[in-house]
């Protein structure tokens, strides 16, 4: 069997047509996702229902024939497995019990105590490894420590990660200990996903852009480097995608500094700039503005072609610069896929 396209790009091959998948490809923009979520009851129940989580993972594969499936779960399941309370406020987003004092941190579980809670997630992965088409790659994921910590400290999403920055400034010891626990637990979590069938893992550092200077080095680069080194030691040859969203100039050299096989680009950097400065070190993923999934038309086609052309001289995985939004139109997703596959 020839190697899956996504794995070939991750191994550094320049392909005539880039493999394509989409962040949040299983999500509310799909009527079949909304129906399955209603059947599960709510979002978290869907995450922990292995059969239904596998079903929503497969829905966008059936509809669009993407080159990769990403496990259906959430980055906040790990804090929950560590003992944080987690719930979702409809129309608003996640809420967690907060970590602000050493005692809050001390009350959390250890890195090896997460697997009972996460067992349904591993079961979802095993179902997917069995049921995916043979040409489709299976991606596991976790949040990067800084991004996950920003939710744990604030107890919710925040525009500027203010509470996490404040704890980092006021009590660096507690903050660093939280990052340490998350780094260790993320290694165990991702390793278990690989054992269950993930062929690639992706580390989502959605809020990396708010870390500056030495903080970026200490809390985005260093934890990613440790996680990747540990995973590759346990699972030789495992490809890793890192997504330090909105890292801007710090995208340059990120792959080399962390050992990532591929850096995922958000849509705030131009593809032409990234081809010259980031793709020179290896595979890149991205970076169409997700807004085009709402607006469609010639703008979508032109931008898709421009990005494919800009990255054509090196290894590239086509994706959006961030997740598709609930108002995205499935017809526009189909148009994007068609355009990528005929573009070269």
- Footprint of ligand CP3 (CB under 6 A): 23-28, 37, 43, 70, 72, 74-76, 93-94, 141, 143, 157, 204, 206, 323
Q: Which is nearer to ligand CP3, 41 or 93 (CB)?
A: 93
- Active site residue: 28, 63, 306, 309, which one? 28
The structure tokens 């896929």 sit at 337
- By beta carbon distance, the residue nearest ligand CP3 is 206
Q: Which is nearer to ligand CP3, 19 or 143 (CB)?
A: 143
d(CA 318, CA 45): 31
Q: Which is nearer to ligand CP3, 209 or 282 (CB)?
A: 209
Going by the DSSP 8-state scheme, the letter that residue 113 receives in this structure is: G
Q: Which is nearer to ligand CP3, 10 or 68 (CB)?
A: 68
The DSSP-derived string for 224-251 is: HHHHHHHHHHHSTT--EEEEETT-GGGG
151 noted as active-site residue? yes
| Residue 141 CB, nearest approach to ligand CP3 (Å) | 5
d(CA 225, CA 231): 10
- Active site residue: 8, 67, 74, 289, which one? 74
Closest to 315 measured CA to CA, from 268, 261, 250, 272: 261
| Residue 34 CB, nearest approach to ligand CP3 (Å) | 8
Give the CA dihedral 112, 236, 138, 294, nearest 10 degrees: 90
74 noted as active-site residue? yes
Count of other CB atoms within 10 angstroms of residue 194? 17
- Active site residue: 24, 226, 245, 250, which one? 24
Q: At 268, is the secondary structure helix, strand, or coil?
A: coil
| Residue 143 CB, nearest approach to ligand CP3 (Å) | 6
d(CA 65, CA 278): 28
d(CA 298, CA 331): 13
* 162 Cβ neighbours under 8 A, 6+ residues apart: 154
Strands 93-96 and 86-89: antiparallel
| Residue 204 CB, nearest approach to ligand CP3 (Å) | 4
| Residue 157 CB, nearest approach to ligand CP3 (Å) | 5
- Active site residue: 8, 33, 37, 189, which one? 37
Going by the DSSP 8-state scheme, the letter that residue 158 receives in this structure is: -
Q: Which is nearer to ligand CP3, 76 or 337 (CB)?
A: 76
What tokens were used for 93?
């987003």
| Residue 48 CB, nearest approach to ligand CP3 (Å) | 13
- Active site residue: 48, 122, 151, 251, which one? 151
Q: Which is nearer to ligand CP3, 68 or 343 (CB)?
A: 68
Q: Which residues are catalytic?
A: 24, 28, 37, 74, 151
């Amino acid at each position: 069997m020839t190697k899956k396209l996504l794995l070939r790009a991750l191994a550094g091959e320049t392909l005539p047509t880039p493999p394509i998948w989409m962040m949040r490809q299983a999500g509310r923009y799909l009527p079949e996702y909304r129906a399955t979520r209603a059947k599960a009851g709510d979002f978290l129940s869907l995450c922990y229902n292995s059969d239904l989580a596998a079903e929503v993972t497969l829905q966008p594969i059936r509809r669009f024939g993407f080159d990769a499936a990403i496990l259906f779960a959430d980055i906040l399941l790990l804090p929950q497995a560590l003992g944080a309370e987690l719930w979702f406020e409809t129309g608003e987003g996640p809420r967690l019990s907060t970590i602000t004092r050493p005692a809050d941190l001390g009350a959390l579980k250890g890195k090896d105590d997460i697997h009972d809670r996460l067992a349904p997630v591993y079961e979802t992965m095993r179902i997917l490894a069995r049921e995916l088409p043979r040409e489709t790659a299976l991606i596991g994921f976790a949040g990067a420590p800084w991004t996950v910590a920003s939710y744990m400290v604030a107890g919710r999403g925040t525009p500027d990660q203010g509470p996490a920055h404040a704890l980092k400034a006021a009590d660096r010891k507690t903050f660093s200990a939280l990052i340490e626990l998350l780094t260790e637990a993320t290694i165990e979590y991702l390793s278990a996903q690989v054992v269950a069938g993930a062929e690639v893992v992706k580390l989502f550092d959605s809020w990396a852009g708010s870390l500056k200077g030495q903080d970026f080095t200490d809390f985005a680069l260093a934890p990613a480097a440790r996680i990747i080194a540990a995973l590759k030691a346990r699972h030789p040859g495992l490809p890793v995608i890192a997504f330090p969203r909105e890292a801007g100039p710090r995208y340059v050299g990120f792959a080399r500094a962390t050992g990532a096989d591929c850096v995922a680009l958000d849509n705030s950097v131009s593809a032409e700039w990234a081809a010259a400065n980031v793709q020179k070190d290896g595979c890149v993923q991205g970076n169409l503005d997700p807004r085009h999934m709402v607006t469609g038309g010639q703008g979508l086609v032109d931008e898709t072609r421009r990005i494919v052309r800009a990255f054509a001289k090196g290894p590239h995985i086509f994706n959006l610069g961030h997740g598709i939004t609930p108002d995205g139109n499935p017809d526009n997703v189909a148009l994007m896929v068609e355009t990528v596959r005929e573009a070269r």
